[in-house]
């Protein structure tokens, strides 16, 4: 198997995107540690620009476009964090971004994409309609598609979060990251190969209601997700052949997490660390707590994003 993305690609990405991204802090909490039964180091990518690690990969891809290709703009279909990340990465380079969003996308996510100056094209919510509309937009505008994870430059960019975490925290035993399309897990696996004094085990955390990566790793063959059902709205997607190849080779283990446990982790994170992370991030904290092999260890967790809409409960507070 040819490994396309290497740890030197992550190194190069780190240098390339450094002028544009936040070097996010690593947050610790004794109360969180007691809850998780481990010493947890949280890489705060919810404080990244556009509110998620996605800005790293989008920036790494957008910054590498040639001038002539960049001039035609970039495009993606996404209702989530990649849409906002790509919109901001494009604006930062001074080029157009075309985002295809399903008509049922939350108004707040649409507003974020608009606030970064992207052009939004609406489509029906089905995956097939989204892909068809994206092809139409790319053909009409000449824009280059930047896929949210099935893209080597995006994967290398995603890996820079783990690279910073490993450099900031000595002697990590493990890193746990959430898995949707597998871009963050792929990038983290590759970054971990190239950093740290000893081998760091990398784990993927997946909702029981969208556990295609777990089933794929177990079966040794890619099994796409059908009908995902989880509160982790950033983790609906299936792995691609590219991310599956990296993950099956390098992941220590997949961990599946029930939504009830993710919700508990969300409440703990909100109340103990006062950090407004999204469920798709909280799942990694829940995975630490539910995995005996991680207990008592020094565990890095990438808090992947903070794009969530909590409600202020004025009646009980």
Binding site for a copy of itself (CB under 8 A): 46-47, 51, 106, 108, 231, 233, 263, 266-267, 270-271, 274-279, 306-314, 316-317
Say if CB 160 and CB 43 are below 8 A apart.
Answer: no
Task: Determine the Cα–Cα distance for residues 154 and 85; give it in Å rounded to an integer.
Answer: 11
Q: Which is nearer to a copy of itself, 1 or 312 (CB)?
A: 312
Q: Which is nearer to a copy of itself, 27 or 185 (CB)?
A: 27
Structure tokens given for 30: 């004794």
CB of 209 to a copy of itself, least distance (A): 12
Q: Which is nearer to a copy of itself, 218 or 229 (CB)?
A: 229
Q: Which is nearer to a copy of itself, 38 or 52 (CB)?
A: 52
CB of 51 to a copy of itself, least distance (A): 7
Q: 180 CB contacts (<8 Å, ≥6 apart)? A: 149, 210, 232, 234, 235, 236, 237, 280
CB of 264 to a copy of itself, least distance (A): 11
CB of 219 to a copy of itself, least distance (A): 30
CB of 85 to a copy of itself, least distance (A): 15
CB of 257 to a copy of itself, least distance (A): 15
Question: What residues form DSSP beta bridges with 27?
Answer: 42
Q: Which is nearer to a copy of itself, 99 or 277 (CB)?
A: 277
| R_g over Cα of the chain | 18
Q: What's the Cα-to-Cα distance from 154 to each of 97, 170, 187, 195, 200, rounded to whole Å?
A: 16, 26, 8, 19, 22
Structure tokens given for 27: 């947050």
Q: Which is nearer to a copy of itself, 7 or 29 (CB)?
A: 29
Task: Determine the Cα–Cα distance for residues 209 and 229; give it in Å rounded to an integer.
Answer: 5
Q: Which is nearer to a copy of itself, 128 or 314 (CB)?
A: 314
Structure tokens given for 205: 């955390």
Q: 37 CB contacts (<8 Å, ≥6 apart)? A: 288, 289, 294, 295, 296
Say if CB 234 and CB 278 are below 8 A apart.
Answer: yes
Task: Determine the Cα–Cα distance for residues 190 and 24; give it in Å rounded to an integer.
Answer: 20
CB of 252 to a copy of itself, least distance (A): 29
Question: What residues form DSSP beta bridges with 177?
Answer: 204
Q: Which is nearer to a copy of itself, 66 or 317 (CB)?
A: 317
Task: Determine the Cα–Cα distance for residues 287 and 207; give it in Å rounded to an integer.
Answer: 10
Say if CB 102 and CB 130 are below 8 A apart.
Answer: yes
CB of 274 to a copy of itself, least distance (A): 4
């Amino acid at each position: 198997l040819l490994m396309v993305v290497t740890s030197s690609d992550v190194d190069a990405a780190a240098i390339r995107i450094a002028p544009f991204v936040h070097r996010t802090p690593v947050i610790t909490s004794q109360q969180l540690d007691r809850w998780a039964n481990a010493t947890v180091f949280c890489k705060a990518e919810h404080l990244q620009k556009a509110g998620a690690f996605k800005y790293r990969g989008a920036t790494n891809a957008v910054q590498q476009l040639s001038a002539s290709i960049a001039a035609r703009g970039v495009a993606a279909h996404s209702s989530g964090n990649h849409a906002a990340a790509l919109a901001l990465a494009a604006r930062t380079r001074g080029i157009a971004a075309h985002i295809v969003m399903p008509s049922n996308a939350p108004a707040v996510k649409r507003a974020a994409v608009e606030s970064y100056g992207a052009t939004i094209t609406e489509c029906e919510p089905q995956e097939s309609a989204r892909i068809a509309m994206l092809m139409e937009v790319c053909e009409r505008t000449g824009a280059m598609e930047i896929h949210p994870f099935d893209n080597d430059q995006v994967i290398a960019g995603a890996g820079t979060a783990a690279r910073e975490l490993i450099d900031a925290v000595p002697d990590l035993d493990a890193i746990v990251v959430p898995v949707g399309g597998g871009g963050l897990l792929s990038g983290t696996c590759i970054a971990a190969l190239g950093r740290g004094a000893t081998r760091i085990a990398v784990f993927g955390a997946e909702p029981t209601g969208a556990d295609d990566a777990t089933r794929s790793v177990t079966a040794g063959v890619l099994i796409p997700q059908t009908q995902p059902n989880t509160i982790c709205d950033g983790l609906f997607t299936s792995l691609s052949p590219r991310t599956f190849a990296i993950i099956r080779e390098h992941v220590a283990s997949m961990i599946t997490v029930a939504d009830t446990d993710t919700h508990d982790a969300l409440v703990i994170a909100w109340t103990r660390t006062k950090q407004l992370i999204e469920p798709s991030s909280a799942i990694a904290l829940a995975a630490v707590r539910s995995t005996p092999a991680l207990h008592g260890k020094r565990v890095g967790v990438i808090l992947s994003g903070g794009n969530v809409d909590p409600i202020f409960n004025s009646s009980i507070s």
